[in-house]
Chain A
Amino acid sequence: KAGVTQTPRYLIKTRGQQVTLSCSPISGHRSVSWYQQTPGQGLQFLFEYFSETQRNKGNFPGRFSGRQFSNSRSEMNVSTLELGDSALYLCASSRLTGETQYFGPGTRLLVL
């Protein structure tokens, strides 16, 4: 079974731009979660989607948003990028909510 895939793997943007990251979960997995990892704050939960509905949301500003499609693929969007948004963004999928999560390789975003 193919693992979680994330695209793109690397991204460079400038302040004020917006970015969209994509995540394809493991086949049959319906829950997708997003995390931000930075050296300063560590791994922080962004949000979780299940059956196209946001089920949980972390403590991030409204500039961070996401969605999930009927095939369980998910995207997250960050608008009006700030330097502090530079991070590794990780997507994780699980068969159902609350089950063990399997992580993708991440998208490394650099904001200049």
Chain B
Amino acid sequence: SQQGEEDPQALSIQEGENATMNCSYKTSINNLQWYRQNSGRGLVHLILIRSNEREKHSGRLRVTLDTSKKSSSLLITASRAADTASYFCATASGGSYIPTFGRGTSLIVHP
């Protein structure tokens, strides 16, 4: 069963706009990761944020974590057509480091 659930399921925006995706989870986590997947191919690791961190940046990506609300958000600024992909959050909780993936948000960026 999924631990993390992304919202929205699909997002369509114009190039240059910002894209925000959210991930909610059910139980306390050790860390949360965001991955990108292009059209049925392998996943690319974007960012890992630990439970004691609140925000991390990587280039045009900004991830926040609110453990009190059991949620995380991924912000992609100044989106590009190449950002078109599915984005997944994955959580590791309890004594396990095995990530449990959500269903993903499908992002389409129109040129």
Inter-chain residue pair count (beta carbon < 8 A):
43
**A108: CB under 8 A from chain B?**
yes
Interface size class of B (residues with CB under 8 A): 20 to 34
Partner of B42, one of A33, A42, A48, A103: A103
Interface size class of A (residues with CB under 8 A): 20 to 34
Q: In the complex, which residues of chain A have a beta carbon less than 8 angstroms from the beta carbon of B96?
A: 56
Q: In the complex, which residues of chain A have a beta carbon less than 8 angstroms from the beta carbon of B99?
A: 45, 101
| In the complex, chain A residues 86-112 whose Cβ is within 8 Å of any chain B Cβ | 88, 90, 92, 97-98, 100-106, 108
| In the complex, chain B residues 94-111 whose Cβ is within 8 Å of any chain A Cβ | 96-104
Query: Could you tell me if B97 and A98 are in contact, using CB atoms closer than 8 angstroms?
Result: yes
Interface residues of B (CB under 8 A from A): 2, 33, 35, 40-45, 48, 88, 96-104
Other A-B pairs, 13, CB within 8 Å; known A4-B42, A43-B43, A103-B42: A33-B98, A42-B2, A42-B102, A58-B98, A100-B33, A100-B48, A102-B45, A103-B35, A103-B43, A103-B44, A103-B45, A104-B42, A106-B41
